Structure 1
Amino acid sequence: MKPTLVKDAMKPKEYVITISAMAKVRDVLQAMSRHNVKSVIVTKSHAHDAYGIVTYSNILEAIFANDGDIDLLNVYDIASKPMVHVSKELDIKYAARLMVNHKITRLLVTVNGELTGLLTMNDIMKVLLQEAQEHLE
């Protein structure tokens, strides 16, 4: 059986919500609400920078650490950075192993250091469930 690659399961760049590191935390919350997502990718500020991610957990930690004033914080204050990234040609079983080993649920997919997509644990589970269903048929 041919392996399923990251590119077969990932969300392409067009569907990945991004935000500037200089944006306010309120902007992230609005983007998450507007797009109904649980995380937003923080773009690189320059060529030698790294991508980051802001999740609900990052926001909650920031709110409680700063008495709820989300207008005082920029995205770069709360983002997890650098974000773990993989090639779109990687077998998803290795991507899943990375997620489990690092206790993360999202991997950035890059080509030559540039964002091409996002792979989530949910994406991997959809593939596994689909393969299990096909095996039963």
Structure 2
Amino acid sequence: MLTKNVMTSADKLVKVSPMASVKDALKLMREHKVRSVIVEKSTTSGAYGLLTFKNILQSIVAEDGDIDLLNVYDIATIPAISVSEDLDVKYAAKMMVTGSIKRLLVIDNNELKGILTMSDIISILIDSVE
């Protein structure tokens, strides 16, 4: 099975500008009940990023960062780790397990197609057993 058949498509994802404040990103995350948001490219040839609760906790709580002064760009993972939409899911799963990665952006031709999460993969495993 290919990544594009399992991923959540880009049109369903919550996105944030890299220049948005971390506080605004947190509000978006709470509003949409998500634990991560896609960081949009800052230029057409730029890279997509990912902002997660872990990034925020590390920067604000563990490192005493100021939530009012930090932008998303300052703490997000940019570029985010990504795969092609035509990659077999088993290889994406192997990347996740060996790299301790919970989410992979799905990107083709430098355009965001979606996101593949561990939950997406577990769902197809459960469906295949039923």
C-alpha contact (below 8 Å) 2:45/2:110 kept by paired residues: no
* Count of equivalent residues: 129
Identity of aligned residues (%): 49
1:90 aligns to what? 87
1:5 aligns to what? 2
How far residue 7 of structure 1 moved from its aligned partner, in angstroms, is 1.1
Scaled by the length of structure 1, the TM-score of the pair is: 0.90
How far residue 66 of structure 1 moved from its aligned partner, in angstroms, is 2.8
4+ residue runs over 6 A deviation: none
**Among candidates 78, 85, 109, match of residue 112 of structure 1:** 109
Distance (whole Å) between structure 2 residues aligned to residue 58 and residue 11 of structure 1: 22
1:53 and 2:50 equivalent?
A: yes
Aligned-residue RMSD, C-alpha: 1.0
3-state secondary structure, aligned to 1:40? strand
Unaligned stretches of 5+ residues in structure 2: none
1:36 aligns to what? 33
Distance (whole Å) between structure 1 residues aligned to residue 58 and residue 80 of structure 2: 18
C-alpha contact (below 8 Å) 2:15/2:37 kept by paired residues: yes
1:19 aligns to what? 16
Distance (whole Å) between structure 2 residues aligned to residue 30 and residue 83 of structure 1: 21
2:59 aligns to what? 62
